[in-house]
Structure 1
Amino acid sequence: MKRIRMKIFLAMLLTTALPLAITASIILYQVDQQIERDQEFAENRITHDLKAKIEEFSVTLSETAYQIYSNPDLIESIALGKEFLSDSRTYDTHRDIHEFFLNVYNQSRVKNILGMYLFRLGQTDLLGNFFPNIYPHFEASDLTALQREIKRQDYAPSMKVIYSSPYREPIVQFLYTVRYRGEPAGLLVIDLSEKVFREMTESYNTFYRGQISIMNPDGTIVYGTEPLQTGQQYTGQKGPHMVSIQTELASSSWKLNYTYEIHPEQLFYQRIALIMIAIAFLLAIVFSLWLSFNITKPIIQMHRQMIRIQIGDYSGRVEVKTKDEIGFLGNQFNAMTEKMEQLIEHDLKLRLVNQETQIKALQAQISPHFLFNTLQMMAGIAEVNRVPELKLICQSLSNMYRYNMYIENEWVNLRDEVMHIRNYLVIINKRFPGVIRVRFDLDPGTMEARIPKLILQPIVENAVEHGLIPHPGDRKLIKITARISPSEDCLYLGVVDNGIGLDEKELDALRKMLFHDRRSEDKEKGSIGLHNVHSRIRLICGDDFGFQLKSRKGRGTWVIYRLPLRKE
């Protein structure tokens, strides 16, 4: 009973918890996959797309500033700190600087330039400047700080974001050291509107609470999504649901970092999926235990009462509290035990009566051995009285009974079955002298083949009784054939007669009775014999074996056996 209870418990657990768990697992898997896809998408956009955009922006500024080297006289004038005569002309440094700034402003790919100006090494005064919209007011400290940038021998072109600028708006300041013969000679400054750089950068900030930070190698934030972070040391955002992506810019020493939070909606579905799995298993366990105990409780009670009946106590009854199938079984069990208790007193008497009836039935039966011995005695009397025909009939009939007595032999040689048919035909030819002839056409080796016992004689008898005897002709012939098919590993037997045959309607009815197992009370004896032989062959040998019928009205009938090839 405990096994039944456990089976019901496991079945209910599987049918209730498993679908919910699978559904929740699918949701959890989909959410996890979406989080991974988002992270992969964000990483691809930051480390490839945004990085390429910033590097392209930096390269464009460097290319723009590098155009100053197209005028060697200007570089030499900046480095030497004077205007000089050359080829009978006076070199005008301020004019060439102004023309350089105009070319940059008009032809460069860099847009939204707010100002450009140039310092000479060791001077705080501007050597040249260009401000297309507004002339800013520079503080002395700002110029001094820029002058210090020139003295850095390892200085490379760089950018920084300034949110408090003389232009009264945030700017991106590009610093480019002008060198003469490898030594710093001046500093070219290009101020751009920070708005364009921010729009370009923040267009890649598409995830929940995303933060883009650009840092110097020392960790100082140069640009941040939050302007207040600029100039501070980058500490990084930490949390169980934070995703951080970092890469280095090839065109500068900057580091690009992007952090974002997993969307609360995704976290909500993730938590819901986990909660669903936990609740599903908890409810399934509780419900399955409750249901299994309630279902098996009356069954266990019934089992205990059955044990009492098994040991001889027929007073056991079950308590029925429900009207379902279990209650119906309980009522039937109680009715059964009451009936058994009433009948148990008469059981011994009934057994005695049945045994007495069986003994009388056995005494009334004729023993096949007695009949066989009687036929042998009749043959002996016929021989003494010189009646050879009667002796032959008795011997043939006794041989047939002896063949039938050994019912434990399911398979016999074809030779034995043919001998049994010969004994049968001896008796038939005594009934109809010279009327029915028989011919055997048996291939070599077939006589030792094993076949099911008593499958030929009923068919031969059927052919004689229903085909040949009713036939008005004088030449009545029955032919028995046997051949082996090595390719199919089968034995084919044939019983052919030239009797009255069957028409198509009769043949179809007989085939339906044989092959569809359709029985009725008004079947003729011959049909029942055919059906029994066919059914027995299929039961013993398998559904692929049996026999087929072919017949033509007035021409005869052909029964073809298909049997497995077996040898002794």
Structure 2
Amino acid sequence: MRQTLRTITGLFSNMHIRGKLLISYFILIFLPLALMTSITYTNVSRDYEKQILHSADQSFDQAYTFLTYKVNTLIKASDVIYFNADVQTMLTRDKQVFADDYVQQNIDRQELEYFLNSFQNTEDVYRASLYVPGWLMYAGQNFNFMNMDAFSKTENYRALLASKDKVSWLTEHTITNNNSNLDPVPVISLLRKIRNSEQTSEIIGIIELNILQDVIDGIIQKANITNDGVVYIQNSNGAIASCSNLQNFHRINPNLALIKDQDDGLSWNNAKIGSSDYVIKKRTIENTDWTMVTAIPLTEIFTQSTRIRDLMLVLMLVCGLLSYGLAYLITGATVKRILLLKKKMRLVQEGVLNVEVHSTSRDEIGELTDSFNHMIKRIGILVDEQYQNGKEIKNLELKALQAQINPHFLYNTLELINWKAIDNEVPEIAVISQSLAKFYKLSLNKGKDIVSIIDEINHIRAYVQIQNLRFDNKIKLEVRIAPVLHNCNILKLILQPLVENSIIHGILEARDRDEGIITITGFQEKNDIILAVEDDGVGMLPEQAEGLLANGNANDEVQGYGVRNINHRIKLCYGQEYGLTYRSSPGKGTMVEIRIPNR
């Protein structure tokens, strides 16, 4: 024993400080948590058992109160019908006098029907009916009125006669729905004999008041607060009037003797059903032969306590592990900081440069972290500089390409052609050279990519003028743009390719027409500008129009490339939510809509 103790002490003494601290934390964390869990479980499980029975008590008593109210409501309704003088008068009519008096019988039927309907509502009395003598013409209605002669041959009638109670109850059965097209409705019925007020031994009719089975079932189901328990209503013959869970009822299988062996009151009683133990409570419902019973398995109460115990053990383990993990993090803070720095370096290796390691310490690792952050920022600056240099090189290449077209040389040449045309009296050539000079002046725009909308429209007018000289004034251009938009900015050379498509692939394809119209409209929608180029040419299939922006038109790749180029430029400049939208149908022309922001 001493040797073992020395060995353990030696191992503990030779351990690293971090290991010693972790063992100490383990003892200081888990032992107090285990003691606290044990004490808490004992108290909580005891209180939980009391709480379940208390909640079951409240739900049981509340359901009992509701059922008593429903029963009394039906009995009071039967009282009103029973003591109604008109009912007595109509049910005691002399057969010999009124058997053939269908007018009076029909009046009686209407008055009785109106009287019975006044009791009906969904929650309390679903239907009020009367069993009347069979000789009455409305005895076979089978809705508010039924044939008492036929009913007298049934077992229910014999049981009603044998009963000495004020009313009798029929457990679940079905009656026809108010709407004859629907399925029969399950109900529970109150039956009451109507005696002749002058000869009390004579039964002149029977009252039947029906309440929906669903209403009773809903009350009973709310009374059951357990998963494996059951609440049910059983009559004196053992028939089940309502049950909260038939599956649980058949599994428990309580017998009629069980009810008789229990006290009718507010206390819970222990009972053994089969091989299982239960807590039972019952109460007899007044003015009925019904008994309301609830049975809760003891195993369920103990199961809930066991779940609480397991939950507390899990919480103890979670709290203990979190505390132990926190202690581990504290002792390994230095290692964690190095691992974090290593992880960030791996991200930089993979090309992720927007990383930063936060450090508030000023030790060696803190200095190393600051140096790492400075290095990453420097690399980021160099990458941005390289990107900007590359972008500037591309812009210079574009400028060089544009510069190959010498504007002054081009304008002077076109001006020379203009004067030569005037000297030689060829006005068409003069108009072409002037329009072409205006077209290229607006196209080049001194190298600027952004122009005003009015300049872009003037550019289109020059282009259309040149095309009209080529195609014998076959194109008519209409511009309907709000003046407030004239000075708004737009990427240059956006409209011209679209107008060119409208001329070549729309208007000129309609060979049976002398003239085509291109309409350019523009308006503001919230913070956006909408420009539309519409022609009345041959049009195309909607799938072809969509293909222009997707994969291009298989029949005209140049047209598709130009459209996609415009759409791509707009999205690059303004964002993915902007661009072109095509609408077209064969024979009705094509419209392309341009959406750009109003900046």
TM-score normalised by structure 2 residue count: 0.35
- Where relative contact order (Cα < 8 A, 6+ residues apart) is larger, the structure is 1
Please identify the structure whose Cα radius of gyration is greater: 1
TM-score normalised by structure 1 residue count: 0.37
